Structure 1
Amino acid sequence: MSKFKAFMKGNVKEAENASLKLDRFGEAIILRPLSAGEADAISDRCYKNKVGRKGKQERVFDAVRYNREICVASMVHPDLNDSDLQDSYGVRGSDNLYNEMFYFGEATQILEKVTEISGIDISMDDEIEAAKN
């Protein structure tokens, strides 16, 4: 019997999707948790080179783009790649649809839910407090 049996893919519980009801829409949106690999790939895409001091190139992280991309990647329903949905908002591309479809406050709620279900909303202080109890 393997000492890693609990970690074998077949023995791991599937992560559950979460629904989030936004007031403006008649039904809830469905979000899925992101894997570490997906988040890393998105993170890599969110760096850009920028001219810094004395003309030297610097890598700068675009946090706004990162937050938007993890939300778009997490969205299960509605399908942001659906051409009819994009047509209804007059845009092309899932990122553009996300930006057009959701208000700032709604986007903030989506980001909070994505970070919660992906397990990155827990601060180190929360973990220390839980360990104490």
Structure 2
Amino acid sequence: MDFKDFLMDEFEDVEPIERIIKMGGREKKMKFKPISAALGDELRKKCRKVDFYKGQKVIETNQDKYIANLIIETTMHPDLKNAELQTAWGVKGAEELLTSMKAKMNDGEYAEWSSIVSQINGYDKSMQELVEEAKN
């Protein structure tokens, strides 16, 4: 055991992962890259709502928003943040683009996309289990 195993040089950058996903009835070649743990924390915080109920702090996570943000940050191709792609769809912003794309997909296709994103980010658990963990 040596601390040198944990120096920055010992951590490798992850190469993009290609997958073929069916979208809108057609197969599309896509690229993905897992997000960092730090970005994962930011996404979870961004999707939380804190309320107080009878003096107790209650934290709720918007599961749909979390999944959408995870898809946006993990998907490299197509780049959902690309202004030209957004203009082609007649929207502004990655979340609006994703919403428009979802409207052209069946539910199973979107579920497959979110499942692949989950796997690429190293989650062995279902998204529901991850959301429950994020709530705590």
What 5-or-longer segments of structure 1 have no aligned partner?
Answer: 124-133
**Secondary structure of 2:13 counterpart:** coil
* CA spacing shift, 1:13–1:57, aligned 2, 3 Å: closer
2:114 matched residue in structure 1: 111
Inter-partner Cα distance in structure 2 for 1:70 and 1:83: 19
Structure 1 residue matching 2:92: 3-state secondary structure: coil
Per the TM alignment, residue 36 of structure 1 is displaced from its structure 2 partner at its CA by 1.1
Question: What TM-score do the two structures reach when normalised by structure 1?
Answer: 0.75
Trace 1:84-95 onto structure 2 (pairs within 5 A). Answer: 84-95=84-95
Whose RCO is larger (CA < 8 A, sep 6+)?
A: 2
Point out the structure with the larger strand share: 2
Question: Any gaps of 5 or more consecutive residues in structure 2?
Answer: 127-136
Task: Give the match's secondary structure for 1:29.
Answer: strand
Residue 37 of structure 1 corresponds to: 38
CA distance in 2: counterparts of 1:3 and 1:122, whole angstroms:
32
User: Residue type of the partner of 1:28?
Assistant: K
For 1:33 and 1:80, how far apart are their aligned partners in 2? 15
Give 1 or 2 for the bigger CA radius of gyration: 1
Does the residue aligned with 2:22 lie in a helix, a strand or coil?
A: coil
Q: Which amino acid aligns with 1:6?
A: D
Normalised by the size of structure 2, how large is the TM-score?
A: 0.74
Confirm or deny: 8 A CA contact 1:20 1:110 kept in the other structure.
Answer: no
For 1:38, the aligned partner's letter is: L
CA offsets 1:76-128 (integer angstroms, 9 cap, x no match): 111112222111111110011012114232322222112212111258xxxxx
Number of residue equivalences: 121
The Cα shift of 1:49 comes to 4.0
Aligned-partner Cα distance in 2 for 1:69–1:88: 21
